[in-house]
Each structure stands twice: as structure tokens, then as C-alpha cells.
Amino acid sequence: MTGRCDADTACRHAPCFQVQLDASRPRRAHRQANACAFHVTDVIEALRAWAGERDLTDGQLTILAIEPADGRAPAQPELRGFAFSTIPLDSAQRRDPARDLSGRCG
């Protein structure tokens, strides 16, 4: 983990979110990136794109609210954040706009 926002090397804001990608098909994959409040959507989109390029499915993006880093590595990094949102990879990558519209009431 870094003490900076991973979305932009020029960003000086402390990260307050961590986005974790976990997938199991066609192979297991895990990635994570930290983001400040200004760049959290950029990190989400970057990880979704990365998963899409590799045709990863059966997984999810988990967005955690984390305490701003103080430069020290936490003793228990897995307990550092609060997961407040989960996005399934299959819906993030394979949205069918025609199907979305067909489900609407006329």
C-alpha cells in the first residue's frame, strides 16, 4: 500500500478509499489501489477496464473507506478499512444497454 493516491502521480491528497478487485474466472486475480476522494471513480474505472481487458468474471470490486495514511504501514492492513460498496464484475463489464431498456415499464 502506498501513502498516496494511486490514480495520479501528481496528486498530493491522502487516500481515503481503497478499491480491491477479486476475480476467479478464467483465473484468480487480485489487485488493489488507493484513491483520494477526488480520484476514487478514476480508480474504479481503471480496475474495471483492467478486468475487462483480461475477460475476468466471477468477481467483484470492493470499495473501502480507509483512514488517511500517515506514512506508516498498518500492523493489520486487512482491518484498515470499512467496505461500504461492492460492484459485481459481470455487471461492471457486460452491461447490455438494450436489455437495460427492455426492463423498463412503458
Is 96 domain-assigned? Answer: yes
Is 2 domain-assigned? Answer: no
Is 5 domain-assigned? Answer: no
Domain carrying residue 45: 17-71+80-102
pLDDT digits (tens, 9 = 90+) for 28-62: 999 999 999 999 999 999 999 999 999 998 899 99
The residues, any chain, with a CB within 8 Å of residue 87's CB and separated by 6 or more, are 44, 48, 60, 61, 63
Q: How many domains does the chain have?
A: 1
Is 7 domain-assigned? Answer: no
The residues, any chain, with a CB within 8 Å of residue 82's CB and separated by 6 or more, are 64, 65, 66
One-letter amino acid at 30 equals H
- Alpha-carbon distance of 97 to 3, in angstroms, equals 38
- Alpha-carbon distance of 10 to 97, in angstroms, equals 36
Is 1 domain-assigned? Answer: no
Is 59 domain-assigned? Answer: yes
- pTM confidence score: 0.72
pLDDT digits (tens, 9 = 90+) for 50-94: 999 999 988 999 999 997 655 555 544 444 688 889 999 874 444
Is 61 domain-assigned? Answer: yes
